[in-house]
Amino acid sequence: MDWEKVDWKALERLRTAFLDGTAGAQDYWRNENDLESYDQTFGQRILWKWNYVLNELKQRGWSPATAGEVIDWGCGSGIATRSYLDHFGPDPSATFLFWDRSSLAMQYAARKAREAFPDIKVWLERPPERMSGTLLISHALTELADAQLDELLGLAAHATVVIWVEPGTYDASRKLIAVRERLHSVFQVVAPCTHQAACGMLTPENERHWCHHFAPSPPEVFMDGHWARFAKIAGVDLRSLPLSFLVLDKRPAPQTGGIRVIGRPRVYKAHALLLGCDSSGVQDYRQTKREQPDQFRHLKKGKIPTYFTNPGKAPSIPTDKL
Ligand SMILES: C[S@@+](CC[C@H](N)C(=O)[O-])C[C@H]1O[C@@H](n2cnc3c(N)ncnc32)[C@H](O)[C@@H]1O
């Protein structure tokens, strides 16, 4: 991290644009320093979210599509592609295409990717309408008007793989659920869902819930005054990194089964309630201190399992066994 390069005023302006809903209306990248400041701060937090998603895919034995290009749509500083390359390596046959309404952003993203992975092939252009490869989308959904989203989903329908990461807010999650429902007839849903049925969040009794998860932040951020300053400007809690995500794949995908844990468990003195999702829907599950002492202790310490089998009858599936 090079905090000397961070333009704090630019971060304040960006944060205002993200919050007041004007980010979609006009290009907010004024110069390269905006992108550098974003990349070092907002971008790092987004990187940790991508690491969470891609680690899960790796642990599950999922492998990237080998055919077609990798497109970072609405690339900004290109953090999604760099995380993808970190996890799956630079496939020499792949082309990495950066697309954004801002040509400044496309150039910055390509340069940063080339600095880290000098041998990759990079394109800066509008994605082909009939793309066949992998589409990475990150923190773009809330900036898109309906017609722009329709166009993006038209493109996504031709992809082999779509990996989409958004903030863990109610609004972003609900929009991503709508995307899932529009695309899932042509894809297998790989994650976060454990099933191919309709999203259980869409029933009237689950209207107040949203599908979100928490990525870990590196512990050093809690002891760094620069991060504290960023948290104040951005209005974020450094201890919490909520995200929503969706991974779709046209290739046959092994189903995890089990129940996906959503959000934070509510932990009481002798029991905890976890919101869980499987093909039967989204509902609360109960874990008791008496019946599952180890799992209960983990929950007390804030360790949230990714998946679990019915906590009333069986122990949780540890995330490192996925
Ligand atoms: C919040 S930034 C996220 C950047 C990057 N994907 C990330 O996760 O860090 C949203 C990006 O979407 C781009 N964007 C917004 N509307 C767009 C559109 N209609 N077409 C292409 N890019 C768009 C913006 O220029 C910006 O770079």
- Residue among 199, 213, 207, 215 nearest 168 (CA): 213
What CA–CA distance (Å, rounded) separates 241 from 167? Answer: 9
- Across the chain, what does the average pLDDT equal? 92
Confirm or reject: Cβ of 105 under 6 Å from ligand 1.
Answer: yes
DSSP per-residue letters across 95-146: EEEEE-S-HHHHHHHHHHHHHH-TT-EEEESPPPTT--SEEEEES-GGG--H
Confidence grade of residue 310 (pLDDT, cut at 50, 70, 90)? low
Strand partners, 98: 72, 124
Confidence grade of residue 309 (pLDDT, cut at 50, 70, 90)? low
Question: Is 320's pLDDT higher than 70?
Answer: no
Sheet holding 316-317, edge to edge: 281-288, 271-278, 259-267, 307-308, 316-317
Q: What is the pLDDT of residue 225?
A: 95
Question: Is 9's pLDDT higher than 70?
Answer: yes
Confirm or reject: Cβ of 74 under 6 Å from ligand 1.
Answer: yes
Please tell me the distance between residue 27's alpha carbon and the centre of ligand 1 in angstroms. Answer: 9
Quick one: 304 exposed, middle or buried, by C-beta within 10 A (0-12, 13-18, 19+)?
middle
Q: What is the pLDDT of residue 312?
A: 55
CA dist 17 to 39, 142, 143, 169, Å?
16, 12, 10, 17
Which domains, ranges and CATH numbers included, belong to the chain?
3-249 (3.40.50.150), 259-321 (no CATH)
Q: What percent of the chain has pLDDT over 70?
A: 95
Please tell me the distance between residue 100's alpha carbon and the centre of ligand 1 in angstroms. Answer: 6
Task: Give me the phi and psi of 300, to 5 degrees please.
Answer: -60, -35
What CA–CA distance (Å, rounded) separates 309 from 302? Answer: 19
State how far Cα 45 lies from the chain centre: 11
Query: Strand pairing of 242-249 and 188-191?
Result: antiparallel
Confidence grade of residue 272 (pLDDT, cut at 50, 70, 90)? very high
Question: Is 315's pLDDT higher than 50?
Answer: no
* Inter-residue contact 240 to 263 (CB < 8 Å): no
Query: Strand pairing of 213-214 and 134-138?
Result: unpaired
Q: What is the pLDDT of residue 319?
A: 44
Mean pLDDT to the nearest integer, 132-149: 96
User: Which of 38, 46, 75 has the most ligand 1 atoms within 8 A of CB, as the residue to mutate?
Assistant: 75
- Locate 159 and state its tokens: 């992809």
Q: What confidence tens digit (pLDDT) does each residue in 280-304 have? A: 999 999 999 999 899 899 999 888 8
Please tell me the distance between residue 238's alpha carbon and the centre of ligand 1 in angstroms. Answer: 23
Residue, of 163 and 317, whose pLDDT is higher: 163
Name 282's Cβ contacts closer than 8 Å, sequence gap at least 6: 200, 201, 203, 206, 209, 262, 275, 276
Mean pLDDT to the nearest integer, 113-124: 96
Please tell me the distance between residue 227's alpha carbon and the centre of ligand 1 in angstroms. Answer: 23
Residue, of 314 and 82, whose pLDDT is higher: 82
Question: Is 56's pLDDT higher than 70?
Answer: yes
Neighbouring CB atoms inside 10 A of 300's CB total: 13
Question: Is 168's pLDDT higher than 80?
Answer: yes
* Inter-residue contact 90 to 117 (CB < 8 Å): yes
Q: What is the pLDDT of residue 23?
A: 82
- Supply the pTM of this predicted model: 0.95
Confirm or reject: Cβ of 80 under 6 Å from ligand 1.
Answer: yes
Confirm or reject: Cβ of 152 under 6 Å from ligand 1.
Answer: no
Q: What is the pLDDT of residue 314?
A: 47
Confidence grade of residue 162 (pLDDT, cut at 50, 70, 90)? very high
User: Which of 77, 139, 141, 166 has the most ligand 1 atoms within 8 A of CB, as the residue to mutate?
Assistant: 139
* Inter-residue contact 281 to 306 (CB < 8 Å): no
Task: Write down the residue that tokens 């990798």 correspond to.
Answer: 70
User: Which of 19, 82, 102 has the most ligand 1 atoms within 8 A of CB, as the residue to mutate?
Assistant: 102
Please tell me the distance between residue 143's alpha carbon and the centre of ligand 1 in angstroms. Answer: 7
Q: What is the pLDDT of residue 67?
A: 85
Please tell me the distance between residue 196's alpha carbon and the centre of ligand 1 in angstroms. Answer: 29
What CA–CA distance (Å, rounded) separates 288 from 73? Answer: 44
Confirm or reject: Cβ of 44 under 6 Å from ligand 1.
Answer: no
Confirm or reject: Cβ of 5 under 6 Å from ligand 1.
Answer: no
Strand partners, 97: 71, 123
Q: What is the pLDDT of residue 322?
A: 36
User: Quick one: which atom of ligand 1 is closest to the CA of 105?
Assistant: 27
Question: Is 115's pLDDT higher than 50?
Answer: yes
Please tell me the distance between residue 214's alpha carbon and the centre of ligand 1 in angstroms. Answer: 22
Q: What is the pLDDT of residue 195?
A: 92
DSSP per-residue letters across 246-300: EEEESS------SEEEEEEEEE-SSEEEEEEEETTEEEEEEEETTT-HHHHHHHH
- CA nearest ligand 1 atom 4, residue: 76
- CA nearest ligand 1 atom 26, residue: 76
Confirm or reject: Cβ of 165 under 6 Å from ligand 1.
Answer: no
Mean pLDDT to the nearest integer, 119-133: 92
Question: Is 313's pLDDT higher than 70?
Answer: no
